Amino acid sequence: MVNVLFVCLGNICRSPTAEGVFKALVQREGLSDHITVDSAGVGAWHIGSPPDSRAQAAARQRGIDLSKQRARQAVAHDFERFDYVIAMDSQNYGDLTRMCPKGGDDRLFKFLAFAPQLGINDVPDPYYGGDSGFDGVFDMIEAAAAGLLDDIRANHL
Ligand code: 4NP
């Protein structure tokens, strides 16, 4: 089993979208028995909340349902449970580096490293922007999800 955790700041916009998109891809590829997918936030503000309605709407337009997800906070133990701990941006990556137990940082990745063709390092935080930000974020997440699955296939399956 390969266990994947996506992490952003609030766990209500970017990482739930990544969880939904990657789960759908894994299902489509018939790999649900081999790959588990979860998401979490560095911050605690939104624990127990469903994804932001704008993130849900952007995902729904692309056929992905985020409504059943609930936010949780990332914890150090996640580095033992998950093979991939994937930060949405450099700030999340830095926070996770500080939380990570010694030797666990070989499991820590930046999501857009799996989509080098985009030439972007960070999935931008859409929380304080308009609705269009959520569509752009969705496109980046789709591209990186495909690259991540390639990486898992190459290294684990
Ligand atoms: P996310 O977006 O990290 O993509 O879930 C945010 C959601 C909420 C906040 C910040 C970012 N906030 O400050 O409440």
Is 35 touching ligand 1 by the criterion CB < 6 Å?
no
Q: From the CA of 123, give the closest atom in ligand 1.
A: 4
Contacts of 39 (CB under 8 A, 6+ apart): 5, 6, 7, 8, 11, 15, 16, 18, 19, 69
pLDDT tens digit sequence for 66-76:
999 999 999 99
Residue ranges in the chain assigned as alpha helix (H): 14-28, 53-61, 78-81, 90-99, 132-155
- Does 45 have pLDDT greater than 80? yes
The residues spanned by each domain of the chain are: 2-152
Note if 54 is an active site residue.
no
Closest C-alpha residue for ligand 1 atom 14: 10
Is 141 touching ligand 1 by the criterion CB < 6 Å?
no
pLDDT tens digit sequence for 55-68:
999 999 999 999 99
Edge-to-edge strand list for the sheet holding 84-87: 35-41, 2-8, 84-87, 108-110
Q: How would CATH label the architecture of 2-152?
A: 3-Layer(aba) Sandwich (3.40)
- Does 131 have pLDDT greater than 80? no
Confidence at residue 132, expressed as pLDDT on a 0 to 100 scale: 79
